[in-house]
């Protein structure tokens, strides 16, 4: 069976990648809206990017009013800034929030109506050129046709998609991630790991996504603990940046499964950062999914060295789950209780979260039938930890 592989229009990876990207950026327009965060603005990276743009005759405006993960109000404010400043292309600089917001701005600067009008639809249009520059290693947004935002009227976290959302240019320079604190390093790294494992065990996996997934999983298991211990470990940072991009390409083409479906409602209702909610869920969700993709989970275990050829697929799969539990403990992933979530409120909202998780469509990519009752049981297990 044939499969389709979609990726950014161009990707430049490595130290000083932005310098090499300037000739391509110069072709996109003469004024950029840089969508970024206040911390990145404060640490000087935004001004460095602006100076390099100015050397090519490109002016820029900065939108950095991003207090949390994207919501419809934040996105509309950024669209207004794009129009008011008379920009003709967009640069997303930062973690998942600026990158996803930049995609949304690119789309809504052209489309009519409200964001929610496009929920569940393929977003199409002739959008302004988009450059995405990650400063964390995890979301993979720089490689995908998706963005996630919270609709403030319904408190639902919605996944929006469309090939037109793919960036014209993705610039991946691991040195931009060196200043990321431990908490963000762990959260984004676990997000990338979730992407890679889900994409590998998804019904939509193919030979090329398998290649990216296994390489990314191996890199993250080896390098994430090192980066968490020593933020200045350049080898670990470089490997994680590549793994995050690989994972992004993978989910762009084979999609995510049950973990992401169940994670988004937790983020929307309890404001838990996406990578942490994934990390909270990943072991319980994959325990459930294990018997639907035994061979694939076994292959992951062998790839990361926790199982070998002599192990049966059943034994290897269990060893992967054990390795995953050990990794989350080493990285000090909190439980719901430890994070400070109101467990009574969590229990009360579990039926809504289960319905929202199923409605997202992601659980249906799991190589095992997933019911609302299954999701409720996993939420309960999570709450009782």
Q: Where are the chain's structural domains?
A: 11-177, 182-383
Q: What pLDDT, on a 0 to 100 scale, did the predictor assign at position 55?
A: 96
Q: How many CB atoms lie within 10 A of CB 152?
A: 12
Q: What pLDDT, on a 0 to 100 scale, did the predictor assign at position 3?
A: 82
- Check if the beta carbon of residue 264 is closer than 8 Å to that of residue 217: no
Q: What pLDDT, on a 0 to 100 scale, did the predictor assign at position 154?
A: 86
Considering the domain 182-383 in this protein, what is its CATH number? Answer: 1.20.1090.10
Q: How many Å separate Cα 45 from the centre of its chain?
A: 22
Burial of 13 (0-12, 13-18, 19+ CB in 10 A): middle
Q: Which residues contact 11 (CB under 8 A, 6 or more apart)?
A: 143, 169, 170, 171, 172, 245
Q: What pLDDT, on a 0 to 100 scale, did the predictor assign at position 155?
A: 82
Considering the domain 11-177 in this protein, what is its CATH number? Answer: 3.40.50.1970
> Within the chain, which residues score under 70 in pLDDT?
none
Q: Which run of H or E residues covers position 316?
A: helix 313-330
């Amino acid at each position: 069976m044939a499969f389709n592989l979609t990726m950014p229009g161009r990707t430049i990876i490595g130290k000083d990648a932005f310098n090499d990207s300037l000739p391509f950026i110069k072709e996109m327009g003469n004024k950029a809206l840089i969508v970024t965060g206040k911390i990145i603005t404060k640490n000087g990276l935004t001004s460095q990017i602006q100076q390099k743009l100015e050397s090519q005759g490109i002016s820029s405006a900065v939108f950095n009013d991003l207090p949390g993960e994207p919501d419809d109000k934040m996105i509309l404010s950024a669209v207004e800034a794009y129009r008011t400043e008379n920009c003709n292309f967009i640069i997303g600089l930062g973690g998942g929030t600026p990158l996803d917001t930049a995609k949304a701005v690119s789309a809504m600067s052209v489309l009519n109506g409200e964001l929610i009008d496009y929920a569940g639809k393929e977003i199409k249009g002739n959008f302004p050129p988009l450059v995405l520059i990650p400063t964390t290693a995890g979301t993979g947004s720089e490689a995908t046709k998706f963005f996630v935002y919270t609709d403030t009227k319904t408190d639902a976290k919605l996944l929006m998609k469309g090939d037109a959302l793919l960036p014209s240019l993705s610039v991946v320079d691991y040195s931009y991630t060196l200043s990321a604190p431990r908490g963000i390093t762990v959260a984004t790294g676990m997000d990338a790991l979730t992407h890679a494992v889900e994409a590998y065990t998804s019904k939509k996996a193919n030979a090329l996504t398998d290649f990216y997934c296994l390489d990314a999983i191996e890199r993250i298991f080896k390098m994430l603990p090192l980066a968490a211990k020593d933020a200045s470990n350049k080898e670990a940072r470089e490997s994680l940046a590549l793994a995050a991009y690989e994972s992004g390409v993978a989910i762009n083409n084979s999609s995510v499964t049950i973990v992401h479906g169940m994670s988004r409602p937790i983020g929307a209702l309890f404001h838990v950062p996406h990578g942490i909610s994934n990390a909270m869920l990943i072991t319980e969700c994959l325990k459930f999914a294990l018997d639907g993709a035994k061979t694939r989970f076994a292959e992951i275990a062998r790839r990361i060295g926790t199982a070998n050829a002599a192990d049966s697929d059943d034994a290897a799969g269990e060893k992967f789950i054990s390795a995953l539990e050990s990794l989350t403990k080493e990285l000090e992933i909190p439980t719901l209780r430890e994070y400070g979530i109101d467990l009574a409120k969590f229990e009360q909202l579990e039926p809504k979260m289960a319905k929202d998780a199923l409605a997202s469509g992601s659980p249906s990519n799991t190589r095992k039938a997933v019911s609302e009752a299954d999701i409720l049981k996993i939420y309960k297990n999570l709450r009782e930890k």
